[in-house]
Chains A and B, each alone.
Chain A
Amino acid sequence: MAHTLPELTYSYDALEPYIDKDTMSIHHTKHHQAYITKLVGALEGHADLADKSAEELISDLAAVPEGIRGAVRNHGGGHANHSFFWALLRKDVKYAGPAADAITADLGGLDQFKEKFAAAAIGQFGSGWAWLVLSDGKLEITATPNQDSPLSAGKKPIIGLDVWEHAYYLKYQNRRPEYVDAFFNVVNWEKVNELYLAAR
Chain B
Amino acid sequence: MPHVLPDLPFAKDALAPHISAETLEYHYGKHHQTYVTNLNKMITGTEFESLSLEDIIKKASGGIFNNAAQVYNHTFYWRGLKASGAGRPDGALLEAIEVAFGSFDAFKELFSTAAVTQFGSGWAWLVKTAEGSLAIEATANADTPLREGKTPLLTCDVWEHAYYIDYRNARPKYVESFWNLVNWDFVAANFSG
Contact B30 A26 (CB under 8 A): no
Contact A174 B26 (CB under 8 A): yes
Residue A21 lies at the interface, judged by CB distance under 8 Å to chain B? no
Contact B161 A125 (CB under 8 A): no
Write out, one digit per residue, whether chain B residues 118-145 have a CB within 8 A of any chain A CB (1) or not (0): 0111100000000000000000111000
Q: Contacting chain B: which of A130-138, A161-169, A189-197? A: A161-169
Contact B161 A26 (CB under 8 A): no
Contact A169 B169 (CB under 8 A): no
Contact B120 A145 (CB under 8 A): yes
Give the contacting residue for B168; candidates A30, A125, A146; CB below 8 A: A30
What is the distance, in angstroms, from A192's C-beta to the closest C-beta of chain B? 27
Residue A6 lies at the interface, judged by CB distance under 8 Å to chain B? no
A26-B168 in contact given A165-B161, A173-B30 (Cβ < 8 Å):
yes
**Chain B interface, number of residues (Cβ within 8 angstroms):** 20
Give the contacting residue for B160; candidates A127, A128, A147; CB below 8 A: A127
Contact B31 A174 (CB under 8 A): yes
Chain B neighbourhood of A126, CB < 8 A: 120-122, 140-142, 159
Residue A116 lies at the interface, judged by CB distance under 8 Å to chain B? no
Chain B residue at smallest Cβ distance from A167: B160
Alpha-carbon distance between A165 and B63 when the two chains are bound, in angstroms: 19
Residue B10 lies at the interface, judged by CB distance under 8 Å to chain A? no
What is the distance, in angstroms, from A183's C-beta to the closest C-beta of chain B? 18
Contact A166 B169 (CB under 8 A): yes
Residue A3 lies at the interface, judged by CB distance under 8 Å to chain B? no
Contact A125 B141 (CB under 8 A): yes
Chain A neighbourhood of B121, CB < 8 A: 126-127, 165
Chain B neighbourhood of A26, CB < 8 A: 168-169
Chain B residue at smallest Cβ distance from A27: B169
What is the distance, in angstroms, from B79's C-beta to the closest C-beta of chain A? 22
Residue B40 lies at the interface, judged by CB distance under 8 Å to chain A? no
Contact A165 B141 (CB under 8 A): no
Contact A164 B161 (CB under 8 A): no
Residue A74 lies at the interface, judged by CB distance under 8 Å to chain B? yes
Give the contacting residue for A164; candidates B26, B34, B160; CB below 8 A: B160
Interface residues, chain A, with chain B CB atoms under 8 Å away = 26, 30-31, 34, 74, 125-128, 145-147, 164-166, 169-170, 173-174
Between A and B, 18 residue pairs with Cβ closer than 8 Å are A30-B169, A125-B63, A125-B141, A125-B142, A126-B120, A126-B142, A126-B159, A127-B160, A145-B120, A146-B119, A164-B160, A165-B121, A165-B159, A169-B164, A170-B164, A173-B161, A174-B30, A174-B31
